[in-house]
Amino acid sequence: MSEEKNKRLRPLMLVGTGSDVGKSVLCTAFCRIFRNDGYRPAPFKAQNMALNSFATKEGLEIGRAQAVQAEACGIEPQTDMNPLLLKPNSEHTTQVVLHGRPVGNRSAYDYFRREGREELRNEVCAAFDRLAACYNPIVMEGAGSVSELNLRDSDLVNMPMARHADARVVLVADIDRGGVFASCYGSVQLQTPDDRARICGIIVNKFRGDRRLFEEGRRMLEDVCGVPVLGVVPMLQGLAVEEEDSVALEHKRRTLQAGKVNVAVVLLRHISNFTDFDTLERDARVNLFYTASAEDIEAADIVILPGTKATLDDLVELRRSGLAQAILRAHAAGRQIVGICGGFQMLGRQVTDPLGVEGGIACLPGLGLLPVETTMRAEKKTEQVEFLFHGELCRGYEIHQGVSTAEDAVVEAERCMGTYVHGILDNRAVIDWLLAGKTKDAAPDVSAEDFKEQQYERLAAEVRACVDMKMIYDFLKYD
């Protein structure tokens, strides 16, 4: 590493004009860019609200987006990268995970009250300080919109965190949804004068078509906002980098496809860790789609019940909507059924919740396809695991509240398989077993790990090509 690369850089924070503007993916890109440029970056998001989570080597839980960003940095994920994780149980309550461990359920009203916020603020700031002492630079991610005035005093993750970190802030806007001028102008102007001065530039994201057509718009945006446009990033077609928001699933409601192995993932209301299916979805032999249609479920070759943050509530809805019966009919017709985590629990004989961990439902019968019974416990199990699957060593991680009577990593019955292991479908042996007899096409010749590395490199190259990295480095230099 050159002497120049040994110099410390200010943290870079990406905030958004709203949710789902692409902050997480762009943070991943900058993590890989800084790594490729000889730095030792690390990701940080003070508070993450997501049902996609990851278990660290220490058996602690963080948002999966920060685990992906750590992967792009080439370092092990740790809780200081996401000290506060909120996992919604319903529209009104959320599980609060602090430094990787659950500390209780809170209503949204109680959580966002000003009282007691300073204790959480001290915790997330201390986590940032520990991380910043070891890595350079820190790539910080904001949450939602940066200009929610009603949440300004209780905010832990956007501009107050930027002030603590003395970060340079870049505003990310999604031009594809429209209103880019108003959203950027409003996001900048609604800041306090001190916070407004921290915003050093704008990245216009998800542009479609010839970017030269936006040159005049770029100049106009700079004029009205008073900050430079650092880049116009195109809609990155065909790029397979994990997305954090379940909004992305709305674009994956495809239909059945002839000549492919059709895999239907049941679209549960509280679906979690849907990134479990990314590797299978990329397999050229497979047409994977998300659905809440009984007709699609019965017609698919394989049906997957995914993880959920609210097993009992989703089990009630599964029966009410008729999807439980559709799954049973599909199984009776010879289809393969797979359950992961909460889906595994639902496929058993019974799920009980004597302590009210998930709410007011004490006990429900499952679908009865697997010989297991599950009891919800107050303690959450979070750990990385290795296991043998049909003689092959496989890896994944577990994050679950319930304890089931079967102790094996994978439980099999006739045309039915259940497991607590997230990431199980990243293992070639499992996918090959699942597709055996359903296709004659050859398996892909690249591993999940190699494929992800290729995608991180491609993402970094594409973002570097359309963002002014020299200007960003100039902003990050200490005076």
Residue that is written with structure tokens 């009630």 in the block:
316
Q: Is 134 a catalytic residue?
A: no
Distances (CA, A) of 229 to 61, 268, 275, 472: 36, 40, 32, 11
Contact 359, 310 (CB under 8 A): yes
Show the CA angle centred on residue 318, arms to residues 50 and 88, nearest 5°: 20
Return the SS3 of 387: strand
Choose the catalytic residue: 99, 331, 400, 422.
422
- Chain-centre distance for alpha carbon 9: 27
Query: Exactly one of 341, 394, 400, 416 is catalytic; which is it?
Result: 341
Beta bridge partners of 286: 261
d(Cα 289, Cα 312) in Å, to the nearest integer? 24
d(CA 78, CA 130): 11
Residue 40: beta bridge partners?
136
| Cα 476 from Cα 288, distance rounded (Å) | 42
Our answer to whether residue 341 is catalytic in this structure is: yes
Which tokens is 153 given?
A: 């005093």
CA–CA dist 365, 349 (Å, integer):
6
Active site residues: 341, 422
